[in-house]
Structure 1
Amino acid sequence: MDDPFVSHLPIDEIKEALQNQDSATAAAMIQNHLDKQNNIPLNIGITGESGSGKSTFVNAIRGIDSRDERAALTGCVETTTVVTPYPHPNYPNVTFWDLPGIGTMNFPADKYLQEVGFEKYDFFIIISADRFRENDVKLAKEIQKMEKMFYFVRSKIDHNVRDEERSQRDFNLKVTLDGIRQNCVEGLQKQGFKAPQVFLVSSFELHMYDFHQLEETLERELPAHKKNALLMAMPNISRGIIDKKKEALHTKIKYLAFVSAFIASAPVPGLSIAADLSMLVSTVVEYQVTFGLDNKSLQSLADSANVSFNDLRAVMKSPLSATKITTELIVKVLSLSVSEAALIAAEEGSRMIPVFGIPVAMTFSFLSTYRALSTFLNMLADDAQSVFTRALGLDTSV
């Protein structure tokens, strides 16, 4: 994966600060850059005709049950009457906009993009529950003219599969899905699209059908600086997504380790350790939330997967999962590693060495932070894979 942080990192300013022996400023620059990367805005417009399942999709992609107070309203009739933003519960910089159905009285097709504020969206997802109709095509063509991306999503596939399974003597899932997809593609081709791509999705079973391909397509076609925002907000519906999240989080570790090293250059006993512990706590909280291993996310997963919370907890091995992350807990986990404890002790002890003490302390600080965060990330990523496997009832050997 390309490193999303290097391209905009103020390298020259950091070098200048270090040449002026101003390590605190260098550390602040890196931390400020990381904070900005974590808050890059991503606005996604979810649109289509009324009753197509837009609101249900918005809830599903945010990992929220329809009964949650933060959920978009769902129902058999048009429930979205105004443009409504739904920030991701853990990544508020990512907003899913539930747009009113195109062609409704208040949002006629010919004025739709103007009425919903076209400019604010990075891309659109056009949803249909059966076939894509004239209004969907009009909207797609207008989006195309304005040089923004859009994606056709055929929703409620689980309903179609169940209906076909009941009615066909020799039911074949692949044949059924290929038929639905081809029907949608041919319908769009008749209306002027040469090679449309249609993603088959069930909002209640995101791990099945084409949602993974949709996620990969969005990630591939987004500008580089937006990709990380999308990835972090994606639900953990495949081992591949968990692995990509782990890789993205790992790219940040060396920068956090540099921050730790620069702080260690200050000749103040105990300052570096205190700062490192604070950084470790906040970063592990980020890991926990990203992998859905906080208690709230786990309970939501248990409810949607129809498994018990305790069943999910039973497959987790890390002491950092499904618990409140505190300084005391981090110290306890670090103390279990002899090598990590030795690095921390060496950092403080090296400060007593004349001339070379501070550079040596900085090196130890970098190494201890890098190793600790790498270990914590591996532990939590492994637990995320185990929880995913248990929630879906998959064979752990797959």
Structure 2
Amino acid sequence: MDLAKRMEEDVFAMKTLEDDVYFSQNMDSGVFSIKHLDDDVFSIESGADGIIFHNDFSADQADNDDDDDDKIKQDLKLKRQSSTYEDVRSFVQEDKLSKEIEDAGTLHGLNNYINNTVEWWKSKKINVAVTGNSGSGKSSLINAIRGLKPKCCGAAPVGIRETTTEIQKYEFPESDKVVLWDLPGMGTEKFKQETYTDDMGFYKFDIVVVVTANRFLENDIWLAEQALGHGKNVMFVRTKLDSDLANAKRDDPDNFDEIKCIETIRRDIEDHISNRGVADLSEGIYMISSPDRGKYDFPVLVKKLKGLLNIKGVAICRVLQQLLEKEIKAKRDAAKREFTSRKVASALYGFLPVPKLETALNKHAVAKIREICLEKFSLDDDSLAKVSKELDLSVDTLKTYHLSAFNTEQLNHVEKLYCQTEEYRFNTFRRYSKYFVPIVGSILSACKAPHTIQDCVDIICSIMAEDEYYLVQLRLEKLEKQLRPLT
């Protein structure tokens, strides 16, 4: 049966044997979808010009390949992410997770592990280092981020002289799980460059904010390079923008344009940093005036910073995702090698030249395999009832809108799965040879039947493994929200 003919069906599943990829389509929506265990996210759109394949991961990579600089930035970003994942890997006690999975199964084991560990994860603090030379406005920036005026109780001390001579700790007013560290300037007799990162305990910081009131100096750029080299997220902040704009307006009032002036300063800083060999500006350059918290880049800076404060929760979920992905793949591959007795029995059914007997018995075998796999991949009704409580979604909603095992026609009607799989793999003669050629035809039919059952097993296991992985992703999305220090 050719692909065009198959697309006339309301719903179909097609197996690509070489790539182990399965497609499902609901013609009411006209959109194909794949939840893929190997990270690539595909969607396939049925349009007037035929089938259009979209691969979000590949598209991103292709865009980056068009520009070497963008590729370098992407590589560095991935390095930062990888470093963060390694930093929090100790938070994920793999032995405890494995024990829960062994006792309760993949999905329920994950739920039990999360529920027993989430409060401990929430207690972990996010550390933000704010550093820069004397007079750059570090303390004023910290006060502005915390929403405090300089003379308020608990505010960081500010002044025209260097006021930070020791590492100072300040908590976010919105969460005691976020700590801002005001670091002394580097390059003084007390804090020499060669030992600065060790003296400051640089390894403990999740985010580094480099602050200047002018052009970023050699010390600032060197420090940013050290942070980037250790996989840290770096934010460049240019303070006292209001003073620069006032000076520019005073010097040339007739031609002064605030927006153009700001962009000129920004480009000058970007060029200066890039010329010094820092290819990655990490999280960007923010032009601010600390007293004016509603102007310039300050609102964007705070929004970006709050987004980065989710870094540990995101990293924990990513580590769990990687572990569970490996677990589900192993279970899927093992399940595909099971059901040997049913495959042997199908060969016997295939040998017997009794009309409709082979099809009826093998359909029943496939139905039993589907039932066993539903329980194996936590998709049976009892398992989904537990999962639905964790996800705050009803079982009907999960089945109808999220799980392919329940809205793919063949897995709802296994007689279609068996017949279409057989039809897809074998031509008409092979399917009916035992009725045309005695003995030889029966032997051919007996050889055919186990392959058809195996194909059905492959399809069932692959779709259900994808569904279980998708439920894992939904649970980890909920966990990531639970671990956000700021809402």
Q: Provide the TM-score with structure 2 as the length reference.
A: 0.40
More strand by percentage = 2
Q: Provide the TM-score with structure 1 as the length reference.
A: 0.48
**Which of the pair has more CA radius of gyration?**
2
